[in-house]
Structure 1
Amino acid sequence: MQNSALTQGAHHIGLTVPDLNQSKNFFLQILGFKQVGEVPSYPAAFVSDGITMITLWQAVDPKDAIPFDRKNIIGLHHLALKVPSSQALERLYATLLNTADVEIEFAPQNLGKGPTQHMMIYIPGGIRLELIAPAA
């Protein structure tokens, strides 16, 4: 089957966050991303897991910013990042249980009838993140 799509995957995903340092530290310290750039005057930080780059943009006035609402605001419903295995997903879940400012929506479970597994969390700043371990 020939691919007729005019695009080739995501180059990066941009997220506006209420606290740039807190969000950046989550990606760097908890998920193991590397910082690949920044624009201090914006301010923004660019982080990557080696495949996906995420741009974190500081909200101008976090106190007045509209919080993430997946059901009522057009746009991002959630961001899904792949992890290498269900064992890695379980280890990450154990870490997230003790991570400040992370809310776990649900623990690792089968996606549909499985064997792919996933979990859903809210990262610091309230953005909904799915972590998914596809079946081999």
Structure 2
Amino acid sequence: MSTPITKGTHHVGLTVSTLEESAAFFTSLLGWQEVRRREDYPAIFVSDGTTMVTLWATKEAPSVPFDKNRNVGLHHVAFHVSDEADLDALHRRLAASGAKIEFGPERVGQGPAKHLMCYEPSGIRVEFIWPGH
């Protein structure tokens, strides 16, 4: 098959242990919009206008935290940032909020692309990347 059957990402579903705090990470820190909620299976849907993220509440706290080097699962989710200044501003906003930052804006390889990695409140690794053009 030479032509992909898919056409990009429709949405990403993440299971979170802190539903309201995880939703606030996207809406308050990133400026995303809350699209809707499901009370019967606690979920909050958020979007930046291009990507939808569905945040599903766990029924219980996870017994073992996810380890990106030892567990099968989501290593991280990455979001595109329009320019380097926005990436730097986002880093400052995350730091001021007390978010756990794995590393601040740094070059990807030889650059010019730059990225940063942090954790949303439930512990999922989130990358923000400016592709350098």
TM range (shorter): over 0.9
Q: Distance in 1 between matches of 2:40 and 2:93?
A: 33
Aligned residue for 1:130, secondary structure, equals strand
What does 1:54-65 correspond to in 2, within 5 Å? 54-62=53-61, 64-65=62-63
Q: Distance in 2 between matches of 1:34 and 1:61?
A: 27
**AA of the residue aligned to 1:31:** L
1:104 corresponds in structure 2 to 101
**TM-score, length basis structure 1:** 0.93
2:15 corresponds in structure 1 to 16
Q: Distance in 2 between matches of 1:134 and 1:67?
A: 30
CA offsets per residue over residues 101-129 of structure 1, 9 Å max, x none?
Answer: x2111110111100011011111111001
Q: Does 1:69 align with 2:63?
A: no
Q: Contact (CA 8 Å) 1:59, 1:65: kept in 2 or not?
A: no
- Runs of 4+ displaced beyond 4 Å: none
Q: How many residues align?
A: 132
Q: Does 1:117 align with 2:123?
A: no
Q: Distance in 2 between matches of 1:57 and 1:127?
A: 13
Aligned residue for 2:103, secondary structure, equals strand
Shift of 1:8: 0.6
| Structure 1 residues without counterparts, runs of 5 or longer | none
Identity across the alignment (%): 43
Aligned residue for 2:97, secondary structure, equals coil
Aligned residue for 2:21, secondary structure, equals helix
**AA of the residue aligned to 1:74:** V
1:126 corresponds in structure 2 to 123
Q: Calculate the aligned-residue CA RMSD, in Å.
A: 1.1
- Residue number among 74, 91, 116 corresponding to 2:89 in the alignment: 91
Q: Distance in 1 between matches of 2:34 and 2:64?
A: 27
1:42 corresponds in structure 2 to 41
Call closer, same or farther: CA 1:27–1:79 in 2, change over 3 Å. Answer: same
| Structure 2 residues without counterparts, runs of 5 or longer | none
Q: Which moved more, 1:3-12 or 1:48-57?
A: 3-12
**AA of the residue aligned to 1:97:** A
CA offsets per residue over residues 84-105 of structure 1, 9 Å max, x none?
Answer: 10110000001111113x2111
**TM-score, length basis structure 2:** 0.95
